[in-house]
Amino acid sequence: MSSLYQNFIGGRWVPARSGRTFFNHNPATGEILGEYPASSSEDLDEAVLAAASAYRSWRLTPAPKRAEIVFRAGEIIRERKEDLARAMTREMGKVLAETRGDVQEGIDMAYLAGGEGRRMYGVTTPSEMPNKWAMSVRCPVGVAGVITPWNFPFAIPSWKLMPALVAGNTAVFKPAGDTPEMAWHFTRIFEEAGLPPGVLNLVFGSGAQVGQPMVEHPRVQVISFTGSTEVGLGINATAGKLGKRVSLEMGGKNAVIVMDDAQLDLAVEAILWSAYGTTGQRCTACSRVMVHAQVHDELARRLAERARALKLGDGLEPETQMGPLVNESQVKTVEKYVAIGRNEGQLVAGGARATDGALARGHFFQPTLFADVKSTARVATEEIFGPVLALVKIQSLEEAVAINNASAYGLSSSIFTQDVNRAFAAMRDLDTGIVYVNHGTTGAETHLPFGGTRGTGNGHREAGHTMLDPFTEWKSVYVDFSGRLQRAQIDNN
Say which of 46, 91, 181, 249 is annotated catalytic: 249
pLDDT at 285 over 60: yes
d(CA 363, CA 82): 24
- Whether 305 is catalytic is no
Q: For residue 347, is pLDDT > 70?
A: yes
Catalytic residue check, 75? no
Instruction: Identify the pLDDT of residue 370.
Output: 98
Alpha-carbon gap, residue 268 to 256, rounded angstroms? 11
What are the φ/ψ torsions at residue 15 (nearest 5 degrees)?
-75, 170
* pLDDT above 80 for 492: no
Interval 214-224: pLDDT, tens: 999 999 999 99
Burial 396-435 (b: 16+ CB within 10 A, else e): ebebbbebbbebebbbbbbbbbeeeebbebbeebbebbbb
User: Helix or strand or coil: residue 438?
Assistant: coil
Give the contacts of 88 (CB within 8 A, at least 6 positions apart). Answer: 94, 99, 102, 103, 153, 154, 179, 182
Judge whether residue 493 has pLDDT over 70.
Answer: no
pLDDT for position 462 = 95
The answer to whether 245 and 278 have CB atoms below 8 angstroms apart is: no
Catalytic site residue from 181, 283, 286, 383: 283
Comparing C-alpha atoms, which of 431, 462, 429 is closest to residue 448?
462
Residue 1 has pLDDT above 90, yes or no: no
Residues 89-138: pLDDT tens digits? 999 999 999 999 999 999 999 999 999 999 999 999 999 999 999 999 99
Pair 125, 476: CB distance under 8 Å? no
Beta-carbon neighbour count of residue 172 at 10 Å? 29
- As a whole number, mean pLDDT of residues 260-280 equals 98
**Rounded percentage of the chain residues whose pLDDT exceeds 70:** 99
User: What pLDDT is recorded for position 446?
Assistant: 94
| Average pLDDT of every residue of the chain | 97
160-191: pLDDT as tens digits: 999 999 999 999 999 999 999 999 999 999 99
pLDDT over 90 at 488, yes or no? no
Q: Domains in the chain, ordered, with CATH?
A: 3-250+457-476 (3.40.605.10), 254-437 (3.40.309.10)
Predicted confidence at residue 273, as pLDDT, reads: 97
Give me the pLDDT at residue 229, please.
Answer: 93
Rounded (to 5) percent helix, strand, coil in the chain: 40, 25, 40
The contacts of residue 379 (CB under 8 Å, 6+ apart) are: 337, 340, 341, 344, 345, 370, 373, 388, 390
Maximum separation of any 2 CA atoms in the chain, in Å: 85
Task: Say what the pTM is.
Answer: 0.96
Residue 124 CA from chain centroid, whole number: 33
The answer to whether 37 and 16 have CB atoms below 8 angstroms apart is yes
- Per-position DSSP letters for 135-156, written without gaps between them: EEEEEE-SEEEEE--SSSTTHH
